[in-house]
Amino acid sequence: MRRLSTVFILAISAATAFADDKPATAPAVAAGEAKGDGMHPRLKMETSLGDIILELDAVKAPITADNFIQYAEAGHYNGLIFHRIMPTFMIQGGGYTAEVKERKEGLRPGIKNEWTNGLKNVRGSIAMARLGGQPNSGTAQFFINVVDNAMLDTPRDGAGYAVFGKVVEGMDVVDKIKDVKTTAHAALPGMGAVVPVEPVIIKGVKLAGAYEKDKVKALMAEAEKAARKEVDAYIAKAEAETGKKFEKAPSGLMWIVMNEGAGDKKPTPTSTVEVHYTGWLIDGTQIDTSVGKEPATFLLTSVIRGWTDGVSMMKIGEKRKFVIPPDLAWAGRGFPPKVPPDAWVAFDIELLGIK
Condensed to tens digits (0 to 9), the pLDDT of residues 285-307 reads 999 999 999 999 999 999 999 99
Closest CA to 188 of 79, 81, 49: 81
Q: Where are the beta strands (DSSP E) in the chain?
A: 2-3, 42-47, 50-56, 80-86, 90-97, 125-128, 142-145, 163-169, 182-183, 195-196, 201-207, 247-248, 254-259, 272-281, 286-289, 296-299, 319-324, 345-354
Domains in the chain: ranges and CATH: 42-211 (2.40.100.10), 226-354 (3.10.50.40)
Q: Are 252 and 325 in contact (CB under 8 A)?
A: yes
Provide, rounded to the nearest whole percent, the portion of the chain with pLDDT above 70: 90
The predicted structure's pLDDT at residue 224: 80
Provide, rounded to the nearest whole percent, the portion of the chain with pLDDT above 90: 74
What is the SS3 assignment for 68? helix
What sections of 39-179 are H helices per DSSP?
62-73, 171-178
Residue 259 backbone class (left: φ over 0; alpha: ψ -120 to 50; beta: rest): beta
- Whether cis (ω within 30° of 0) applies to the bond prior to 269 is no
Residue of higher predicted confidence among 177 and 12: 177
Q: Are 58 and 212 in contact (CB under 8 A)?
A: yes
DSSP secondary structure letter of residue 120: -
**Cα–Cα distance, 296 to 1 (Å, whole number):** 7
Calculate mean pLDDT across residues 56-78: 97
Query: What pTM value is reported for the model?
Result: 0.70
| pLDDT tens for each residue of 231-274 | 999 999 999 999 999 999 999 999 999 999 988 899 998 899 99
What confidence tier does 189 reach under pLDDT thresholds 50, 70, 90? very high
| pLDDT tens for each residue of 123-134 | 999 999 998 877
Closest CA to 51 of 67, 74, 31: 31
Q: Specify burial of residue 215 (Cβ count, 10 A radius: 0-12, 13-18, 19+).
A: middle
What confidence tier does 82 reach under pLDDT thresholds 50, 70, 90? very high
CA 173-175-179 angle, to 5 degrees, is 120
Calculate mean pLDDT across residues 22-48: 67
